[in-house]
Structure 1
Amino acid sequence: MQREVDADFARYVRARQHQLLRAANLVCGNGPRAEEVLEQALATAAGRWHRMRDEPDLAVRRLLYRDAVSSRGGRVDAHGVLAALTPGHRALLVLRYFEERSEPQVAEVLGGTVPEVARETSAAVTRLHELYPAHDVTELLDDASGGVDEVDLAQRAWDAALAGRRLRRRRVASTVAGLAAVGVVVAVAQGAGRVGPVPAPSPTTTTSKPALQRLPDGTMYAAMPLEGEEDGLPDFDAGLPSAIDPEGRTVRLSTLSSPPGSVVAVYLRRAATHYRAVLVPADRTQVLVDTLDLLPTRDSGGNEGEPLGAKAISADGRYVVFAQPRAVVRLDLRTGAVDRYAVPAPDLLVAGWRAGSTVVARTAGEAWSLDLSQPSPTAARSAVPVALTRGVAVPVTDLAGETVTAGRWAASGAYFDQDVTSPVIVRGNGPIYQGLVAVDQDARAGRVLLAPESPDGRTGRVKECCTVLAWADPSTVLFRSSGYDGSWVLAWNVETGRVYDVTRLDEGGGVDYPHAVALAVGSRG
Structure 2
Amino acid sequence: MTGEGAGPVDDEADFVDFAAACQGSALRAATLVTGDGTLGREVALDALRGIAADWGAARDEGPERRLRSAVLRRAVVVATDHDDPVGPVRLSDEGDEDDDAVDEPEVRRAAVRAALAGLPPRTRAVAVSRWLEDRTDGETADHLGVEAAVVAADVDAARRALARADDRAGPLPPEDDRARDLLTLVADEVPEADLARPAWDAAVARRRTVRRRAALAGGVLVLGGAAGLVAADRGTRRGPAPAPSRSAAPLAGVRVQGAEVLYGPEPDDEESLPPYPDAAELGLRARLGPGADTPLEQLPSSGSSAPVAAVFLLRTGNDEYKPAVLLPARSPRPLVVPMAPLRPVDVPANGRGVPVGPDTIERDRHRLVFVQPDGLVVLEVRSTRTRRIPMPGARPERAGWAADGRTVVVTGSSRSWQVDSRTGVVRPTVVPVGPGWADIDLASGTPVVRGFSPRGEIVGVRSLDGPETEVSGFSASSPDGWACRLVRLGAPEVLGGRTEGLLAARRGGGDTRVLAASTAPGVMPGAYRPLAWGPQATVVFESRSAGPTGRPVLRVLAWDLAASRLYLVGTLDTPAYPAPGFSDDPFTGVWTL
TM norm structure 2? 0.47
Counterpart residue identity of residue 264, structure 1:
A
Distance 1:257 1:357, change over 3 A: closer
Asked if 1:439 corresponds to 2:505, the answer is yes
Q: CA deviation at 1:477?
A: 0.8
Aligned to 2:465: 393
Q: CA deviation at 1:295?
A: 0.9
Aligned mates of 1:235, 1:299 — CA distance in 2: 37
Secondary structure in 1 matching 2:492: helix
Aligned mates of 1:229, 1:194 — CA distance in 2: 25
Q: CA deviation at 1:444?
A: 5.9
Which of 213, 231, 235 does residue 275 from structure 2 map onto?
A: 235
Which of 451, 461, 480 does residue 542 from structure 2 map onto?
A: 480
The within-5 A match list for 1:226-265 is 226-236=266-276, 237-238=278-279, 239=282, 240-248=284-292, 249-253=294-298, 256-262=300-306, 263-265=308-310
Q: CA deviation at 1:273?
A: 1.8
Distance 1:514 1:289, change over 3 A: closer
Q: CA deviation at 1:371?
A: 1.8
Aligned mates of 2:241, 2:572 — CA distance in 1: 33
The within-5 A match list for 1:208-357 is 210-211=250-251, 213-236=253-276, 237-238=278-279, 239=282, 240-248=284-292, 249-253=294-298, 256-262=300-306, 263-271=308-316, 272-282=318-328, 283-301=331-349, 303-344=351-392, 346-354=394-402, 355-357=404-406
Aligned mates of 1:511, 1:319 — CA distance in 2: 28
Counterpart residue identity of residue 477, structure 1:
V
Secondary structure in 2 matching 1:229: helix
Q: CA deviation at 1:326?
A: 2.6
What 5-or-longer segments of structure 2 have no aligned partner? 1-239, 442-446, 449-462, 548-552, 580-586
Tell me the alpha carbon deviations over residues 205-238 of structure 1, each in whole angstroms, 9 at most, x when there is no partner: xxx8x52532453421112211243211111133
Distance 1:499 1:342, change over 3 A: same
Aligned mates of 1:361, 1:220 — CA distance in 2: 33
Aligned mates of 1:493, 1:352 — CA distance in 2: 25
Aligned mates of 2:577, 2:568 — CA distance in 1: 20
Aligned to 2:89: none
Tell me the alpha carbon deviations over residues 98-152 of structure 1, each in whole angstroms, 9 at most, x when there is no partner: xxxxxxxxxxxxxxxxxxxxxxxxxxxxxxxxxxxxxxxxxxxxxxxxxxxxxxx
Aligned mates of 1:219, 1:343 — CA distance in 2: 42
Aligned mates of 1:509, 1:422 — CA distance in 2: 37
Secondary structure in 2 matching 1:499: strand
Aligned to 1:518: 592
Distance 1:397 1:424, change over 3 A: closer
Counterpart residue identity of residue 266, structure 1:
V
Q: CA deviation at 1:361?
A: 1.2
Aligned mates of 1:192, 1:294 — CA distance in 2: 55
Aligned mates of 1:219, 1:476 — CA distance in 2: 18
Counterpart residue identity of residue 481, structure 1:
S
Q: CA deviation at 1:252?
A: 4.8
Decide which moves more: 277-286 or 508-517. 508-517
Q: CA deviation at 1:379?
A: 3.5
Aligned mates of 1:327, 1:471 — CA distance in 2: 28
Tell me the alpha carbon deviations over residues 308-337 of structure 1, each in whole angstroms, 9 at most, x when there is no partner: 011111111111111111301111111111
Counterpart residue identity of residue 369, structure 2:
V
Aligned to 1:130: none
Aligned to 2:492: 421
- Root-mean-square deviation (CA, aligned residues, Å) is 3.0
Counterpart residue identity of residue 341, structure 2:
D
Counterpart residue identity of residue 502, structure 1:
V
Aligned mates of 1:408, 1:356 — CA distance in 2: 16
Aligned mates of 2:397, 2:555 — CA distance in 1: 23
Aligned mates of 1:442, 1:469 — CA distance in 2: 21
Aligned mates of 1:493, 1:460 — CA distance in 2: 22
Distance 1:292 1:440, change over 3 A: same
Counterpart residue identity of residue 420, structure 2:
D
Q: CA deviation at 1:438?
A: 0.7
Counterpart residue identity of residue 368, structure 1:
W
Aligned mates of 1:323, 1:489 — CA distance in 2: 25
Counterpart residue identity of residue 313, structure 1:
I
Asked if 1:359 corresponds to 2:426, the answer is no
Aligned to 1:498: 565
Aligned to 1:84: none
Conservation of the 8 A alpha-carbon contact between 2:399 and 2:411 = yes
Count of residues paired in the alignment: 307
Tell me the alpha carbon deviations over residues 442-499 of structure 1, each in whole angstroms, 9 at most, x when there is no partner: 33641200111224xxx222x3232221110241111122221411221111122111
Secondary structure in 2 matching 1:298: strand
The within-5 A match list for 1:117-156 is none
Aligned mates of 1:369, 1:297 — CA distance in 2: 18
Q: CA deviation at 1:422?
A: 3.3
Aligned mates of 1:194, 1:373 — CA distance in 2: 52
Which of 535, 545, 556 does residue 489 from structure 1 map onto?
A: 556
Q: CA deviation at 1:360?
A: 0.7
Aligned to 1:460: 523
Larger radius of gyration: 2
Aligned mates of 2:516, 2:575 — CA distance in 1: 21
Q: CA deviation at 1:382?
A: 6.1
Aligned mates of 1:451, 1:323 — CA distance in 2: 30
Distance 1:211 1:466, change over 3 A: same
Distance 1:396 1:342, change over 3 A: farther
Counterpart residue identity of residue 262, structure 2:
A
Counterpart residue identity of residue 465, structure 2:
A
